[in-house]
Amino acid sequence: MLRNFTRQLSVSAKRLGNGTGTADVKNGKGTAIVFMNMGGPSTVPETRDFLFRLFSDNDLIPLGPFQNILAKFITWRRTPMIEKYYARIGGGSPIRKWSEFQAKKACERLDEISPNTAPHKPYVAFRYAHPLTEETLKQLLDDGITRAVAFSQYPQFSYSTTASSINDLYRLSKVHDPNGQIKWSIIDRWPQHPCLINTFANHINDALLKFPEEIRKNVVIQFSAHSLPMDIINRGDSYPAEVSATVYAVMQKLKFSNPYRLTWQSQVGPKPWLGAQTEKTSQRLVKFDSVPGIVIVPIAFTSDHIETLHEIDIELKEAVENPEKVVRCESLNGDPLFHQGLADLVKDHLESGKLYSKQLPLDYNLGSVTAKNVFKHPDEFFGDRSKK
């Protein structure tokens, strides 16, 4: 199935939104759907700039008053190694092509199921890689967009990820759209939406089939999510609870067929990060005679990127004693069930009339401790700013 959808990805190489309905959007009709994520370098030479933007982001990795200096140093130290990682997985991150493909498919279905808000035009806005938020915002304005949904592709909210993208959009909008041409709303979390739960459950079942039937029920399902510094978690960040909610909902869908654990990956630097660590836990599990195998599930990611293709598929398997016992379930990537569910999610959001979730104001109260030039309440940005 993945190969069939990969052949369709060439369509996404063209600039998004050149198809039917573009003229209507430019005339102020229709809705822009903006997929927001951290992104990744599409080519190896883009790695340095990507890392510098990432380590410069105080919302994601707070490094104190010397953030910019430390970001330059860390980038200098890590770039050669990370470039080798991207070269090893094919010369760059696939997250852009998957994001563009998923956005396109979701908008195609939205045109069918939500004619009142059609046409729907897909965009992608990345925090640290091209197309950057600023580039996409300028394109939205050039296209004459007046109604847009910011759709976070972090299913589980964190101030360090989702809010960082929101903050970036807010700051740039003050510069490029001070009069509020674009009326925004946001899908800021969706940790238990059926499109996420059902697709992951299907992919886990597919992965379990790779083990002999007589041992299958004892295979451990190890969910893995990107870790965060404890500095952020200790502010009351909702991320751990929402990731756990996703895990539990998936296991409910699977009728708790197997033992499972949630672990955390991608820690960087000497500061304490949320654990237990995925790699260390896997190393322990494969040694137990009672564990015939492990299915690794990248539960906080909507597509493949370096954390799945290198950190799990290569680094983790090289680190464990019995790599044949480890299987990673397929990411959401080109699954049509997932794309259809994304469209359903956006349709529900548009019909609800809500501009953001009930939790978002509290997220900002607790999370914006060190953030600069951000709103105090979401009402300051979302909705009709021309009337404020």
Residues 241, 282: contact at Cβ < 8 Å?
no
Tokens of residue 133, six digits? 């938020």
**HEC letters along the chain:** CHHHHHHHHHHHHCCCCCCCCHHHHHCCCCEEEEEEECCCCCCHHHHHHHHHHHHCCCCCCCCHHHHHHHHHHHHHHHHHHHHHHHHHCCCCCCHHHHHHHHHHHHHHHHHHHCHHHCCEEEEEEECCCCCEHHHHHHHHHHCCCCEEEEEECCCCCCCCCHHHHHHHHHHHHHHHCCCCCCEEEEECCCCCCHHHHHHHHHHHHHHHCCCCHHHHCCCEEEEEEECCEHHHHCCCCCHHHHHHHHHHHHHHHCCCCCCEEEEEECCCCCCCECCCEHHHHHHHHCCCCCCCCEEEEECCCCCCCHHHHCHHHHHHHHHCCCHHHEEECCCCCCCHHHHHHHHHHHHHHHHHCCCCCCCHHHHHHHHCCCCCCCCCCHHHCCECHHHC
- The distance from CA 160 to its chain's CA centroid, rounded to whole angstroms, is 12
188 vs 238: CA distance, rounded Å: 12
Tokens of residue 310, six digits? 């290198």
147 vs 29: CA distance, rounded Å: 8
Q: What is the CA radius of gyration of the chain?
A: 21
Peptide bond into 119 cis (omega under 30): yes
298 vs 308: CA distance, rounded Å: 7
Closest CA to 144 of 238, 25, 247, 229: 25
* Residue 57 is a catalytic residue: no
Residue tagged active-site, from 57, 111, 168, 344: 344
Q: Which residues are designated catalytic?
A: 344
